[in-house]
Amino acid sequence: MINIALPKGRLGEKVYALLAQAGYPCPELLEDNRKLTFENPEAGVRYFWVKPSDVAVYVERGATDLGIAGKDILLEYRPDVYELLDLQMGRCRMCVAGPADFVDDHAQTLRVATKFPNIAATYYSERSREIELIHLNGSIELAPILGLSDVIVDIVETGKTLKENGLSVHAEIVPISARLIANKAAFKFKSSEIRALTARAAEAVAERSK
């Protein structure tokens, strides 16, 4: 059996559809209930609904063999896992954003609000820009509006949240998408099963991009 942590929510449902197409279905998973664990012995798979930002924790510690995590989470927390495949879903961009008229004149320490302090710190340290990090957990766009920060480092998907709050993208840091990740020990002990699943998922990804 391969144990897979799926990110709860819309992305997780899309990822599940891809894995079902790849030969790992478990229809019970889409039933409307509060269950978090599902199993299909014929397909040799067990799925678990996990909070998206926790997937890497489950996989790194071996609670599940595989998981699907956003590249943002992998860059932020740098879990000790293997990244096996870009699923090319959940695409978005990690960006610096702020009021359209804000120009960083380097006169003062730049105040940066974010859910991703490591990504932000790395980005600015590579540019030798001194910053003050303000770690928030959500609604990051509010920070520059209320004068809590000069800019934000956050995920931009459609750009709607920025637009509706009068903010714009100042720089793109990195493109983001969902990745299939594996626990390192599981990758050794369940090598053939995990390699087979990865290959079949890669075929399904290629099929979808046609």
Query: Interface residues with ligand PRP (CB under 6 A)?
Result: 138-141, 154-161
Q: Closer to ligand PRP by CB, 9 or 27: give it.
A: 9
Q: Closer to ligand PRP by CB, 85 or 167: give it.
A: 167
- Work out how close the CB of 65 gets to ligand PRP at its nearest, in angstroms, rounded to a whole number: 27
Q: Closer to ligand PRP by CB, 69 or 155: give it.
A: 155
Q: Closer to ligand PRP by CB, 31 or 164: give it.
A: 164
Query: What DSSP line would sit under the chain, residue for residue?
Result: -EEEEEESSHHHHHHHHHHHHTT---GGGGSSS---EEEETTTTEEEEEE-GGGHHHHHHTTSSSEEEEEHHHHHHH--S-EEEEE---S-EEEEEEEETT----SSSPEEEEES-HHHHHHHHHHTT--EEEEE-SS-TTHHHHTTS-SEEEEEESSSHHHHHTTEEEEEEEEEE-EEEEE-HHHHHHTHHHHHHHHHHHHHHHHHHT-
Q: Closer to ligand PRP by CB, 96 or 156: give it.
A: 156
The two tokens of residue 43 are 């397909």
- Work out how close the CB of 161 gets to ligand PRP at its nearest, in angstroms, rounded to a whole number: 3
- Work out how close the CB of 140 gets to ligand PRP at its nearest, in angstroms, rounded to a whole number: 6
- Work out how close the CB of 190 gets to ligand PRP at its nearest, in angstroms, rounded to a whole number: 32
- Work out how close the CB of 141 gets to ligand PRP at its nearest, in angstroms, rounded to a whole number: 6
